[in-house]
Amino acid sequence: MATDLEESVRQPSRSQRGRGGTTAWLLQAVSGVLLIFLLGAHIVAQHFVVRGGLRDYAQVMSYLANPAVLVMEGLFVVVLIWHAMLGLRAVLLDFGFGRRGQALITRGVVVLGAVTAGYSFWLIATLAARG
């Protein structure tokens, strides 16, 4: 005889297992660790090594003129968006949608991430071109 708790907690069926759940979790964990380092480098470069604790427009333009900085900031954007989209997807999938709903959520999150990344890179490129 099953308890109420056992009945209310559904375990994934065999067909549901192996559909990227473990892979998505692993990728989110790796991106989280990368974010610790990239965010740390970003905060140090933008706030701790600058007089007054914040770069002004001219300092930002000078900073973005360095190609290594552009690569680091671009990597930061990619990892940040990747981590955020995986987290958003995980939260939405916790609502227990069926296969079609899960597929729509995954596609929607991919589109949102692509639009966010596109805008971010456009903004970085626009600022770098002005410098």
- Number of domains forming the structure of the chain: 1
**CB of 120 closer than 8 Å to CB of 80:** no
The per-residue pLDDT of the chain, averaged, comes to 86
Please indicate, yes or no, if residue 92 is contained in any of the structural domains: yes
- In single-letter form, the type of residue at position 12 comes to P
Please indicate, yes or no, if residue 30 is contained in any of the structural domains: yes
Please indicate, yes or no, if residue 71 is contained in any of the structural domains: yes
Q: Can you read off the two tokens belonging to residue 24?
A: 């998505």
What is the domain range of residue 99? 24-130
With CA atoms as reference, report the closest residue to 82 among 120, 44, 124: 120
What is the DSSP code string of 40-53? HHHHIIIIISSGGG
Describe the chain by its helix, strand, coil percentages, rounded to 5. Answer: 80, 0, 20
Please indicate, yes or no, if residue 78 is contained in any of the structural domains: yes
Cβ-based neighbours of 128, under 8 Å, separated by 6 or more: 64, 65, 70
Please indicate, yes or no, if residue 35 is contained in any of the structural domains: yes
Please indicate, yes or no, if residue 18 is contained in any of the structural domains: no
Whether this prediction's pTM lies above 0.85 is answered by no
Question: Which pLDDT score, from 0 to 100, does residue 52 have?
Answer: 83
Please indicate, yes or no, if residue 5 is contained in any of the structural domains: no
pLDDT tens digit string along 6-52?
A: 555 555 555 445 455 688 889 999 999 999 999 999 999 888 888 88
Q: Where residue 118 sits, what CATH number does that domain have?
A: 1.20.1300.10
pLDDT band at 101 (very low <50, low <70, confident <90, very high): very high
Please indicate, yes or no, if residue 82 is contained in any of the structural domains: yes
